[in-house]
Amino acid sequence: MMDEDTRYEAVRSRDGRFDGEFFFAVETTGIYCRPSCPAVTPKRHNVRFFPTAAAAQGSGFRACRRCRPDAVPGSAEWNVRADAVGRAVRLIADGVVDREGVAGLAARLGYSARQVQRQLTAELGAGPVALARAQRAHTARVLLQTTDLPVTEIAFASGFASVRQFNDTVREVYASTPTEVRAAAPGGRGAARGRGGHRAAPGAGIPLRLAYRGPYQAAAVFDQLAEEAVSGVEEVSGTPGGRTYRRTLRLPYGTGIVAARERTRPVRTSTGTRPGGWLDARLHLTDPRDLTTAVQRLRRLFDLDADPYAVDERLGADPRLAPLVAARPGLRSPGAVDPLEPAVRALVGRDGAEELVRRCGKVLDAPCGTLTHLFPEPAALAAAEPDGPLGALAAALADGTVRLDPGADRDEAQRALLALPGMDPATVAVLRVRTLGDPDVAPPGADLPDGWRPWRSYAVQHLRVAGELTRTGR
């Protein structure tokens, strides 16, 4: 835990390690920023600190146009915590409040709406509605500055209930009208649109900068994605260092296709290069309302909200892991965009998964090259495979007996999975890491010391990449 004086020192040194971990606001300007903001450091007595952007917005501060604090990586704390607050933050990021309201969020967590409001406000300085509103504002800015969608369409695609609510929120958060936000797009693209200049080609998709903190071992992530890729749903093309990962996405309102580049880009400021950077990606959606959910699922797949400083500090202190951490600082533990995919690969292998995709997956209305199908839905797999562990898991996911969404209770999910016929501990360990994002899983039979807690999932990644452990954990 950092006290406010320590936070101020991080601001004064423009320390990018803390981007997304906290925000600071300046009372004399009414603006809030990320810790690494390149602007002149404000005087200590004018600074206030907030745990979330939503809390800063709720106190009347608007986002800095220079450092874009709404675009920082998510806090690693909320993504690894297994308690109700951590689960709630992950569900809100996935768009649950926009789709189901606070009542739906509370029902998924097993609490009353009042309890959820109280817990989130106490720890994050904002309740679920405010957190969802801040997220909608960010989605709106991305759509305004990267697409030519009409402003009215963007309002509803971002999750706002009305155009008036959309206009008011954008003005409050960015101190600009939606038209002004669009005109201020980086590189002059928005200005050109505002003057009736060149427009992006139809169907070009939404360009994304998927931000991360600290070092990022993209090569290891893309190696794993290439090894596991299920044809028809995924593909990895190109040569190491410049590969592109493409895949289809089944989303709440429609479908999507994403292409992410292996080559990472550092963040450069007037004071030099700061820790962190981003992956370039491009997203094609049949319904723009799915943008927020699609982005969050991609962030989980690439493990972009991890805190590599905390992970490397703990694991690098161990004599066995120290040389591995030194060789690959910032190694990530990839997740999944669909809870069934890791289970299917674990149970029937990649070849078996590809056969199930051809037999049970929905064919895209507009196939794109080798991407022709969506991964099968649980109900479709349950109908096609009524017997055996795969069918039992698919049926349990379809009827809600087992939940593997971002807000699922990890221990509860493990107990429910182990109660299914034929489900073994090794497969459950895979699901706990890949679909539930647990950073501290030891595969059955693997002798991992307690000193590697709470980052044993990352330790396993280091051992696997170094060839000291197989994918099955032996």
For 191-230, write each residue's pLDDT tens digit.
334 333 334 444 679 999 999 999 999 999 999 999 999 9
Q: Which residues are the active-site residues?
A: 33, 447
For 54-109, write each residue's pLDDT tens digit.
999 999 999 999 999 988 888 888 878 889 999 999 999 999 999 999 999 999 99
The answer to whether the CB of 394 falls within 8 A of the CB of 381 is yes
The H-or-E segment that residue 292 falls in is helix 291-302
Min mean pLDDT across 43-47, 265-269, 369-373, 421-425 is at 265-269
H-assigned helices in 48-125: 53-58, 76-80, 84-93, 96-109, 113-124
Alpha-carbon Rg for the chain, nearest whole angstrom, is 22
Q: Which of 156, 188, 189, 104 is nearest to 291 (CA)?
A: 156
DSSP string for 31-42: EEE-TT--SPPP
Which pLDDT value is given to residue 190?
Answer: 47
Distance of CA 52 to the CA centre of its chain: 16
Which pLDDT value is given to residue 186?
Answer: 74
Q: The pTM is what? A: 0.91
Split at pLDDT 50, 70, 90, the class of 275 is: low
Which pLDDT value is given to residue 276?
Answer: 79
Domain 76-194 has CATH 1.10.10.60: yes
Provide the phi-psi class of 201: left if phi over 0, else alpha when psi is between -120 and 50, else beta.
Answer: beta
Cis, peptide link before residue 178, omega less than 30° from 0: no
For 25-39, write each residue's pLDDT tens digit.
999 999 999 999 999
Provide the phi-psi class of 445: left if phi over 0, else alpha when psi is between -120 and 50, else beta.
Answer: left
Domain boundaries along the sequence of the chain? 4-57, 76-194, 205-300
Percent of the chain at pLDDT > 90 equals: 83
For 428-442, write each residue's pLDDT tens digit.
999 999 999 999 999
Give the span between the Cα atoms of 181 and 130, in whole angstroms.
21
For 362-394, write each residue's pLDDT tens digit.
999 999 999 999 999 999 999 999 988 999 999
**Residue 449: φ, ψ to 5°:** -70, 150
Place of tokens 């004599």: 319
Q: Is the pLDDT of residue 117 over 90?
A: yes
Which pLDDT value is given to residue 198?
Answer: 37
Farthest CA pair distance, the chain: 67
Superfamily of domain 4-57: DNA Methylphosphotriester Repair Domain (3.40.10.10)
Assign domain 205-300 to its CATH architecture.
Answer: 2-Layer Sandwich (3.30)
Min mean pLDDT across 269-283, 313-327, 338-352, 384-398 is at 269-283
Mean pLDDT of the chain: 91
- Rounded to an integer, the average pLDDT of 238-251 is 97
Q: Which of 1, 3, 11 is nearest to 47 (CA)?
A: 11
